[in-house]
Chain A
Amino acid sequence: MTDVNHLITLLTIFVLAIFVGFEVISKVPTTLHTPLMSATNAIHGIVVAGAIVVTVALFNSRNTDAVVTIVAIAAVTFGAINVFGGFAVTERMLQMFRAKGAKK
């Protein structure tokens, strides 16, 4: 991580992804504001992957005890709530759009 080139690479990825994020949302009808918010919410649920990585690192460090293990499990739990709940609730919101389409 001290490698400057590596840091530059990560920063490049970071900045480019920000531009993509700005561009991918355009002229969204108000009807879709909430489902879209909910979907982006689910996508940052990827944090659960980070929680898993850090839990593995904790166990590998062999310096673990009950309290930290519980904190790590809590991190995974929170991340999983974000991911699974986020997608499920978005799906439920969007089901209401289908009802309209199906009728036609």
Chain B
Amino acid sequence: MTPSSGSGLAIAAPLLDLAAISLFILGLHFLNSPATARFGNRLAMVGMAIALAVVLTQTGGVAWWAILIGVLLGGSIGIVAAILVKMTAMPQMVALYNGAGGGAAALIAVVEYVVFLRSGGAGLDPIISVSMVVSMIIGSVSFAGSIIAFLKLQEVMSGRPLTYPGQQGVNAVIALAIVVLGAWFVVSAGTLPVWGFFVLLAAALALGVMFVLPIGGADMPVVISLLNSFTGLAVAIAGFELDNELLIICGSLVGASGTILTVDMSKAMNRSLANVLFSAFGSAGGGEPAAAASGGPQNVRAVSADDVAVMLAYASKVGFVPGYGMAVAQAQHSVKALADQLEKRGVKVFYAIHPVAGRMPGHMNVLLAEANVPYEQLLDLDEANAEFPTTDVALVIGANDVTNPAARNVPSSPIYGMPILDVDKAANVIVLKRSMRSGFAGIDNPLYEMAQTAMLFGDAKASVDGLTAAVKAL
């Protein structure tokens, strides 16, 4: 931290950094509650603006064009992508931004290394060599892992856990290579052969890929949150490398809060973090639990919209169970319209919200809030499960895994133990679904074969609109 100009800036800069850090901490605090969350984000934005302004002033104009190119390019990519992304694709967008941060930490180490090589120096200070190599490794793992998480959520690659024979062995070799090369780098004070450094970089990237591959798509939000705290840690350690307190504080702040958040997210799915990361979700039995469950659902009953409309219109209580399918079809307004029609006929309506329905926690709440669904009709898991035994019709709209009774009664199922919505306790279950494809976790749902269940195939929005029209016509 060597300010380029007079002593005024030398005093002002750390004080402004302190203000920025305070704003980050206050921002996170306000983000704990829905009422103040936006304010919290704004505070953090102001903090970031202050911190970046200070850094830019301190450059003294050196490398201004390179910095300008980077900031303009990165800033416009980031903002345009954030504006264009669909609400359903938010989690994978966060994954990409996080990966970019990890990549930046790794590239900082690469540039530092090249500067060191060309300086012809005898060796690196031990603190710098340790922090350089550690921030590069963690940053690369976060970068590569985030990209795999993105590809899985975007369904460019299968969301199913990817396992292969000898996987543990391959991972062990990669990890060993990282430890050996990393130690060599530190012991040799950075004077190991140049290939050693770049093999280390490649191995760290490979570890990131291998780490995320065996984890199922349904667990990706937890993984993204974990990679987010990884990036925080990488940034903190890069702070040691650059002797920069701002990076150390912000990085460790995110590393720690990200870890708490990750643990909270796994708890919301009633699983431990270790279980999410290492059970290779979906491969619990060593391979084929999906096929073992039933060999694929065969005995399903399809119904027409008119039949369902009659059932709904003469019910006394109807529960809507929204899932990712509703989000994809943007059917929340149609669902509200159907609920309004039913309420006009005196039907009691509620919405059962599973904590991990959709692709991010709170996904369903925000979509239904957008459609002006009254808050008191949104029931959480426990409240909804208390209602189902007295519910006439449970209308499952594009939700799958969160309604899978196998989680309750099939100990061999990979989702066994996850709390689910007990829709099968309702007198009738109507499942709106595009096709018989299995859910995001890649496992079959025995709910579809139950006697009280009927399937209404088609796009969620079109199906719900059809139901509304049919109810109106009655």
Contact = CB atoms under 8 A, between A and B. Distances in A.
Interface of A: 1-2, 6-7, 10, 13-15, 17-22, 24-61, 63, 68-69, 71-101, 103
B256 A17 contact: yes
A98 B38 contact: yes
Residue from A71, A90, A101 having most chain B Cβ neighbours under 10 A? A90
A18 to B, nearest CB: 4
Contacts, number: 390
A39 B78 contact: no
Interface of B: 24-25, 27-29, 31-35, 37-38, 40-41, 44-45, 48, 51-52, 55-56, 58-60, 62-63, 66-67, 69-79, 81-83, 85, 87, 90-91, 93-94, 96-98, 100-101, 103-105, 107-108, 110-112, 114-115, 118-119, 125, 127-128, 221, 224-225, 228-229, 231-232, 234-236, 238-240, 242-261, 264-265, 268, 355, 360-363, 365-367, 369-370, 372, 375
A38 B253 CA distance: 14
A22 B257 CA distance: 5
Nearest to B354: A30
Given A33-B268, A52-B55, 4 more contacts: A25-B257, A29-B34, A50-B104, A50-B244
A7 B242 contact: no
B91 to A, nearest CB: 7
A30 B355 contact: yes
Contact of A76 (B71, B81, B87, B248): B71
A58 B34 CA distance: 44
Given A85-B93, A90-B41, A46 B48 contact: yes
B34 A49 contact: no
B101 A44 contact: yes
B63 A51 contact: no
Contact of A42 (B48, B77, B96): B48
Given A44-B251, A87-B45, A34 B93 contact: no
Nearest to A90: B41
A56 B93 CA distance: 30
Given A22-B257, A54-B111, A73 B69 contact: yes
A41 B78 contact: no
A74 B111 CA distance: 10
Given A7-B127, A46-B51, A51 B261 contact: no
